[in-house]
Structure formats: C-alpha cells, structure tokens
Structure 1
Amino acid sequence: MKKSILIIAIFIATGIAAQTKYQKGMQKAFSLWKQGKMTESSQLFERISKAEPTKWLPAYYTANVEILSSFGLKDETALKAKLTKAQEFLDIAKANSENNPEILITQALLNLGYIAFDGQKYGMTLSGKTNQLYAKALEIAPNNPRVILGNAEWNMGTAKYFGQSTKPYCSEIKRAIELGKKEKIEIEFYPKFMQDRAEEVLKQCE
C-alpha cells in the first residue's frame, strides 16, 4: 500500500514539475518578446512546441512572432523564410486545435505579411482567402474582440488601398474595445486583447 502511494506521489510530482517547466518556459518566451528579442522568443516558443507536441499555444506563438517580425523586411528571401516557418508552426497549431478562431486570424495575418510586402504579386491570390478566413472566424466566434478588430483592420486596409473611407469600420473597432474590456480569459497563456493597440487603430479610423 505504501509503495503504491509513493508511486502515485512520484507520478503527481513529476506532472507538476513538467507543468511548471512549461509555464516557466512560456513566461520567459513572453518576456523575451516584450524585450524585443524576437529571434530568441521565437526559438524558445519553438523548443516548447516540440517538447509539448499536443499543445497548440506554443506553436501558435512561434508563428505569431515570425509573422510580426516579417513586416518591414525588404528582402523577399528573408520574408519567405520567416513566413514559411510561421506556416509550419501554424499548421502544427491547427492540427492540435481545429476551427480555432485565434489560429484562423493568425493565418489571415500571415497572408497579410505577403500582401504588405508586394500587393500586386500576392494580393490577387491571397485577398479572397483572407476574407474567407475572417468570415469563418466571425462565424465561429462573433463576439471575439481579436477577431472583430482583425477583420476591421483588414477592411480598413482594403478601403485605403482603393481610396475609400475607413469610417464604416470605426463602430466595429469600438465594439471590439468594449468586448475586450469585458472579456475573461480562463485558459493559461490564451491570447489577450490589446486595448492600447485597438485604441490606436480607432484613432487611425476616425
């Protein structure tokens, strides 16, 4: 009996240690990201993803860091390298969490990475797909503030490109901000709504 209890205790302790290691790794990766150390952050999220192959969040964040650090690049080879890696990890995230609105809008952001680099080259093939991604995400999670804001930003960008007013999308940004204030995140390390950034987007819209 005592041996059985000891084995159970060891099993539980090992589980706690593994969970703590995951938490510490994720927290460190976020800290590196906050410090602007994008490469180091991406590499750590990648290592965590490989150590935790059934979790979607580490792969999701690896993709996000690679996508965000691709904006502003002038070399297409460097851009493709980053976005190809991002796609690889986004596919891993998808495999672990199907029809996830957070992953859908990150795929849309990845598409935007290509379009922002060369709209004439990539816009024709990726714009329609991006519209579909936002439509699907909104269908799954109509009150998700990140989905609403992402869709509004995408529509604003399209409007600017065609010389149209962005004001029709201001109300959606305001709605996203209000929903973001009320949102309660219960899953550890789940994506959070960035209120400050949303406020900046609203200023651009108005």
Structure 2
Amino acid sequence: MKTLILLLAFVAASLSASAQQATAPAGYSEMMAATITELNSTGDPAQLKQIVSKFERAATAAPTDWLPAYYQAYGLLLTTFQTKEDAATKDKYLDQAEAALTQARKLRGDESELLVLQGYIYQARLGISPMDRSAKYSRLVSEVLGQAKGVNPTNPRIYLVLGNNIYFTPKMFGGGPEAAKPLFEEGKTRFAAYQPSSPLAPNWGERQLASRLKAYEQSAGVQAAK
C-alpha cells in the first residue's frame, strides 16, 4: 500500500510539472533561472523590487506554476530585510509577501517550502519591532517550522530559520547563540545531503548558514587567543 501511495504521488507530481511546462511560454525556464540568480546575487532594495516585478510577470505568463509567486514572496521578504524604510512600509512588503505565498499554496506548491517561508516572514515581522512582537511572532515561527518539519524533516532551510529564531531569543528564555548552534549544525548536515527537486526549486540559505557557523569559529578563535 505504501509503495502504491508513493507511486501515485510521483505520478501526480509528474503530471503537475508537465501541466506547468505545457502552459509556460518558450524560454520560461531560462528566464526564471536567470531571475532567481539575480535574486540571490543582490542586497540592493531597488534591484530587489525590480526582480519581484519580474516574478509577477512570470506568474502571469505561467499561471499554473507556484514558483513565481513563491519567489515573489521571497523577494519581498529580502526587500524588507535590506530596506531602510519605516516599519509601516516594511509591514506592507510582508503583507504582499503573504498574499503571494497564499497564491503559491493555492497552486499546490511544496508545502514544506511554503511553511518555511511563512516562518521566515513571521521572523521578519518580529524583527521590525522585537520588544512589542516577540511574544506573538517567536511562537508563530516555532509553530509553523514545526509543521514544516513534520512535512519534510530533510528540508535544510527549516534549521536555518529555526536557528535564527533561537539565536535572537534572550538567553533567559532558552535562546542565544549557544542554544542555536546545534540547529545550524543540523542545517549544515541537511544541506550536504540536499538535492533540489528541480533546477528552479528553492535552494537558498546555505551561504547564510555557513556565515553563522563561521562566526562561531571566529568567536572561538578570539576566546582562545585571550
């Protein structure tokens, strides 16, 4: 029975991919790949906004594909992290990101990836006003990432975002860098074994995680030199 269920799931995924390819215009995959590369190569808010607009156009060109909406949400999230605009504007970007994420879910996107990105959006909400929002959004991050882990525990981005959440939680509440370190290490292990389901599938986070772990090494080196 388990084998039959897995076979049916594979067939359904294959049919879905075929349908997306059938409705996408010529050059769509190449355009998406190039735009994803752009997204992962800049931290400039103005450029990020232009890239988000490209994903909006891609969503119009391939209305059955969930990935343009997903990357639109991710681009808006990155814009929120990078912009120096006020809190209300940042919240507006995150409202737009959640709307795009809802559309990606309607198109039956990868549920684990969508939940991770939802958790990351909650984390961004928290970062806008930590003192006022920590009680609500820290809990929501943990809840939604727990759901993502239930769907697919091999997704390495779960451990990056969850580690970030613990990292910035005060030590008195069970957080802090040392409490977060095992999660980042777990993420490193998961990234080493991770294979994206397609060339356009979400594949971000490894550089950020490596940067986190490098900071631990540098801190240990400083302590050893004292």
Moved more, 159-168 or 101-110: 159-168
Q: What is the alpha-carbon distance in structure 1 between the residues aligned to residue 30 and residue 109 of structure 2?
A: 26
- Given that residues 70 and 104 in structure 2 are in contact (C-alpha distance below 8 angstroms), is that contact kept between their aligned partners in structure 1? yes
1:186 aligns with 2:197: yes
Q: Which residue number corresponds to residue 5 of structure 2?
A: none
Q: Which residue number corresponds to residue 32 of structure 2?
A: 26
Kindly provide the amino acid, as one letter, of the partner of residue 71 in structure 2. Y
Between the aligned residues of both structures, percent identity stands at 21
Kindly provide the amino acid, as one letter, of the partner of residue 55 in structure 1. D
User: In the superposition, relative to structure 1, how do residues 102 and 30 fare at CA in structure 2: closer, same or farther (>3 Å)?
Assistant: same
Give the 5 Å matches for 1:17-166: 18-33=24-39, 34-35=41-42, 36=44, 37-71=47-81, 72-97=83-108, 100-159=111-170, 164-166=175-177
**SS of structure 1 residue aligned to 2:197:** coil
- Given that residues 168 and 175 in structure 2 are in contact (C-alpha distance below 8 angstroms), is that contact kept between their aligned partners in structure 1? no
- 1:28 positional shift: 3.3
Kindly provide the CA deviation profile for residues 101-133 of structure 1, in whole angstroms up to 9, marking residues without a partner as x.
111111111111111011233333322222110
- 1:145 positional shift: 1.0
Unaligned segments of structure 1, at least 5 residues: 1-14
**SS of structure 2 residue aligned to 1:73:** coil
- Given that residues 145 and 193 in structure 1 are in contact (C-alpha distance below 8 angstroms), is that contact kept between their aligned partners in structure 2? no
- Given that residues 138 and 148 in structure 1 are in contact (C-alpha distance below 8 angstroms), is that contact kept between their aligned partners in structure 2? no
Q: Which residue number corresponds to residue 5 of structure 1?
A: none
User: In the superposition, relative to structure 1, how do residues 58 and 130 fare at CA in structure 2: closer, same or farther (>3 Å)?
Assistant: same
Unaligned segments of structure 2, at least 5 residues: 1-20, 218-226
* Structure 1: 4+ residue segments shifted above 6 A: none
Q: What is the alpha-carbon distance in structure 2 between the residues aligned to residue 92 and residue 38 of structure 1?
A: 20
- Given that residues 29 and 42 in structure 1 are in contact (C-alpha distance below 8 angstroms), is that contact kept between their aligned partners in structure 2? no
User: In the superposition, relative to structure 1, how do residues 202 and 31 fare at CA in structure 2: closer, same or farther (>3 Å)?
Assistant: closer
Which has the larger Rg? 1
TM score, norm. by length of structure 1: 0.81
**SS of structure 2 residue aligned to 1:54:** coil
- Given that residues 70 and 114 in structure 2 are in contact (C-alpha distance below 8 angstroms), is that contact kept between their aligned partners in structure 1? yes
Q: What is the alpha-carbon distance in structure 2 between the residues aligned to residue 123 and residue 39 of structure 1?
A: 28
The size of the alignment, in residue pairs, is: 192
Q: What is the alpha-carbon distance in structure 2 between the residues aligned to residue 97 and residue 17 of structure 1?
A: 16
Q: Which residue number corresponds to residue 4 of structure 1?
A: none
Moved more, 117-126 or 52-61: 117-126
Kindly provide the amino acid, as one letter, of the partner of residue 64 in structure 2. T
**SS of structure 2 residue aligned to 1:198:** helix
- 1:16 positional shift: 7.2
- 1:77 positional shift: 2.6
Kindly provide the amino acid, as one letter, of the partner of residue 101 in structure 2. L
CA RMSD of aligned residues (A): 2.5
Q: Which residue number corresponds to residue 16 of structure 2?
A: none
User: In the superposition, relative to structure 1, how do residues 92 and 174 fare at CA in structure 2: closer, same or farther (>3 Å)?
Assistant: same
TM score, norm. by length of structure 2: 0.74
